Amino acid sequence: MTRTICVALLTLTAAGAAHAGLQLGERPIARTEVIATVKKQFAVMDVNRDGGISPDEFTAYREKQAAMPDQGRGLTRIGRSWFERSDVDGNSRVTPDEAQGRPLELFDMADANRDGVASIAEQSVAALFVK
Ligand SMILES: [Ca+2]
Ligand SMILES: [Ca+2]
């Protein structure tokens, strides 16, 4: 019985992590989903809940991401240069607005017909830019 619960928990965790990564090429993705996912990810990164990501919080999240089953691939992946690219005003702090800038930029690039949804075909364009 204990074993069944463990397996169920593991499955839940894996599904949650995969969703958090917002994988490309699996299903159509809405712009609103990108915003919601970045918001959720931001809440996880902002460990001290001060409304901004510090360089230390960024580093800690990168380590967490490396342990994820999908390594956080996809639109909301936090890459090595995420911090400096996201911190547009250069104040060593990434705000929620700054955090969603790059994922939305990629999304808008993919959403060629501007209907607010990136189809699987449209996502193949964005996939070229996600490293
Ligand atoms: Ca913080
Ligand atoms: Ca900033």
**Per-residue pLDDT tens digits for 78-115:** 889 999 999 999 999 999 999 999 889 989 999 999 99
Cα first-last separation, the chain: 42
Look up the CATH number of the domain holding residue 48. 1.10.238.10
Which string of b and e fits 65-76 if b means at least 16 CB within 10 Å? beebeeebbbbb
Q: Tally Cβ neighbours within 10 Å of residue 60.
A: 14
- 14 C-alpha to ligand 1 centroid (Å): 26
Number of folded domains in the chain?
A: 1
User: How far does residue 91's CA lie from ligand 2's centre (Å)?
Assistant: 5
Q: How far is the CA of 105 from the centre of ligand 1 (A)?
A: 23
53 - beta bridge partners? Answer: 94
pLDDT in tens, 37-48: 999 999 999 999
Ligand 2 centroid to 73 CA: how many Å?
Answer: 24
pTM, to two decimals: 0.75
* Residue 71 belongs to domain spanning: 2-127
Q: 122 and 110 in contact (C-beta within 8 Å)?
A: yes
